[in-house]
Amino acid sequence: MDTRNARRETRRSRSHLSSIVLSLALLALPALLGIAIPAAAATNDSGGGNVEVRRPAHQDVSPALRSIEPFKAKKKIHEMAEHEIPPPVSTGTPDTAIQSSATVSAAAPTAGVGFEGLGTGLPGATVNAAPPDPNGDVGPNNYVQIVNEQFAVFSKTGSVLYGPANTNTLWRGFGGGCETNNDGDATVKYDRLADRWIISQFSVSTTPYLQCVAVSTTGDPTGSYYRYSFNYGNVAFPDYPKLGVWSDGYYETYNIFNNGTTFAGSKVCAFDRTTMLAGGAATQQCFDTSTAYGGLLPSDLDGTTPPPAGSPNYVLNFGTNALDLWKFHVDWTNPAASTF
């Protein structure tokens, strides 16, 4: 577990700045950031014709979450060793973004009304790894939070409406690794354009390696979900999955490790959002980068104003003294026309 935690700490520090910057990426990321994109970022690692198209390995519709008895953690579940992506090659030049001293004293924001989230202070919650990888999202009436391998649904006043429960509870009755394994690295997002919730978690304790994706059928996170699993085979371990909401798809990025040991570059995938919202047989389209790039993150739509029609999803990673930028344009009608 020491190896896993050390890797998590390293990857968290590398991607923290990118995570902040991604919230600005909705319309014209380079202009908003005021940066010049370095030559390495313009590299087209994959283009039209190299796209992978996958259909779901399995799909169904769940009963209402509120009616499913939660799986509860009694011991540490996910004990697979974490993996380190190779660091970017240093250019030898100083990082001009690092400040040597504080120049402005910023006023601290006034804290609002808070409540106890998933953690040791919440009855039934189990914190079993460090760092805990917390993430959550907020909708009109609810806050949904995931920490390690558990999740909970809260009202905005802090009442626990469901959970804490193991995240694979959401796939109870689904079968296969999505139901059996509770491997963590889960993400929850709220789709403000459609008033839906998306929860994604990988299954990697057994093969084939799967990504399990659930989209709520309504705006109620304790209701039913359209559930999907996508098969990545027995070799390509899809580590560090990160999910983003966009108008034409749900985008997810991975660090791929062949046989769970050798870094093989990043995989960037788009799930067919429109079809998923209707519970149809949604496909995904994926591109791979070379081993020169890892820790990619998709842009995420946080507001109710969509990007311009036809806008690609912007994907970033944090290189050496640079932000590397890609544009992922997906064509659901003609996958051969999709580009990355």
Q: Over 70: is that where the pLDDT of 103 sits?
A: no
Q: Over 50: is that where the pLDDT of 1 sits?
A: no
Q: How confident is the model at residue 106 (pLDDT cuts 50, 70, 90)?
A: low
- pLDDT value at position 152? 97
Q: When comparing pLDDT for 25 and 303, which is higher?
A: 303
- pLDDT value at position 336? 94
Which range, of 106-110, 133-137, 158-162, 185-189, averages the lowest pLDDT?
A: 106-110
Taken in order 176, 202, 337, 280, the sign of the CA dihedral is positive
- pLDDT value at position 128? 81
189 touches 159 (CB < 8 A) = no
Q: In sequence order, which residues have a C-beta less than 8 Å from that of residue 191 and are 6 or more positions away?
A: 197, 198, 245, 250, 273
CA angle 237–240–244, rounded 5-degree value: 120
pLDDT in tens, 52-73: 999 999 999 999 999 999 987 5
pLDDT in tens, 6-38: 344 434 434 433 343 344 333 334 333 333 333
- Rounded-to-integer distance, Cα 318 and Cα 134, Å: 21
- Rounded-to-integer distance, Cα 251 and Cα 272, Å: 9
Q: Over 70: is that where the pLDDT of 226 sits?
A: yes
What are residue 97's phi and psi, to 5 degrees? Answer: -80, -15
- Rounded-to-integer distance, Cα 90 and Cα 82, Å: 24
Q: In sequence order, which residues have a C-beta less than 8 Å from that of residue 30 and are 6 or more positions away?
A: 36, 37, 325
Map residue 273 onto helix, strand or coil: helix
- pLDDT value at position 104? 64
191 touches 300 (CB < 8 A) = no
pLDDT in tens, 150-183: 999 999 999 999 999 999 999 999 999 999 999 9
C-beta neighbour count of 89 within 10 angstroms: 10
Q: In sequence order, which residues have a C-beta less than 8 Å from that of residue 159 and are 6 or more positions away?
A: none
Q: What is the pTM of this model?
A: 0.81
CA 111 to centroid of chain Cα atoms: 28
CA 182 to centroid of chain Cα atoms: 16
Termini Cα distance of the chain:
35
189 touches 137 (CB < 8 A) = yes
